Amino acid sequence: MKNICRITCCVCVTSEIEAKIVGLRPGNMRNRSKMTGNRLEMVRDHLEMIGDRLEIIEDHLEIVGNRLEIIGNHLEMVGDRLEIIGDHLEMIGDRLEIIGDRSPIISRWVNIPLESKQPIPRQSHVKLNN
């Protein structure tokens, strides 16, 4: 027995007996196989378009990954700078602590009454003979 349609796809391979059981004439089978072939071609085109879209999505995801890597590098640099700022603030705190420790000495210098501030006489190391 020969196949009615010449396209040997999983849908259209049908014997004459099967066609008679289903109640189709050979001409109808040819039309149906042609329609099935067109549908398969459309499916193939759609799958090709889906493949192209997936490729575009892959490219976009790669771009997003690169941007995220750049953002990560920037955040790492910001973290390093914040660490440096923290170190500077710690040094400033240490210096303020030193100033605070010395403040009693400074306050004694500042609290001297004005009347007792006498000008310091200049001393010359060279004696003049008069």
Q: Which domain holds residue 103?
A: 16-109
Is 125 within the bounds of a domain? no
User: Quick one: DSSP state of residue 10?
Assistant: T
Residue 73 lies in a domain: yes
Residue 28 covered by a domain: yes
Asked whether residue 120 is assigned to any structural domain, the reply reads no
77 within a domain of the structure (yes/no): yes
Instruction: Please give the tally of structural domains in the chain.
Output: 1
- Rounded to two decimals, the pTM is 0.43
Residue 92 has a pLDDT of: 93
**Of the candidates 64, 7, 53, which has an alpha carbon nearest to the alpha carbon of residue 33?**
7
Confirm whether 42 is domain-assigned: yes
List the chain pLDDT tens, one digit each, 130 residues. Answer: 444 445 444 444 455 555 555 555 555 555 666 667 777 888 888 899 999 999 999 999 999 999 999 999 999 999 999 999 999 999 999 888 888 777 766 666 666 555 555 555 565 555 556 5
Residue ranges in 13-114 assigned as alpha helix (H): 16-22, 26-110
For residue 121, is it within any domain?
A: no
84 belongs to a structural domain: yes
- What local confidence, expressed as pLDDT, does residue 64 receive? 95
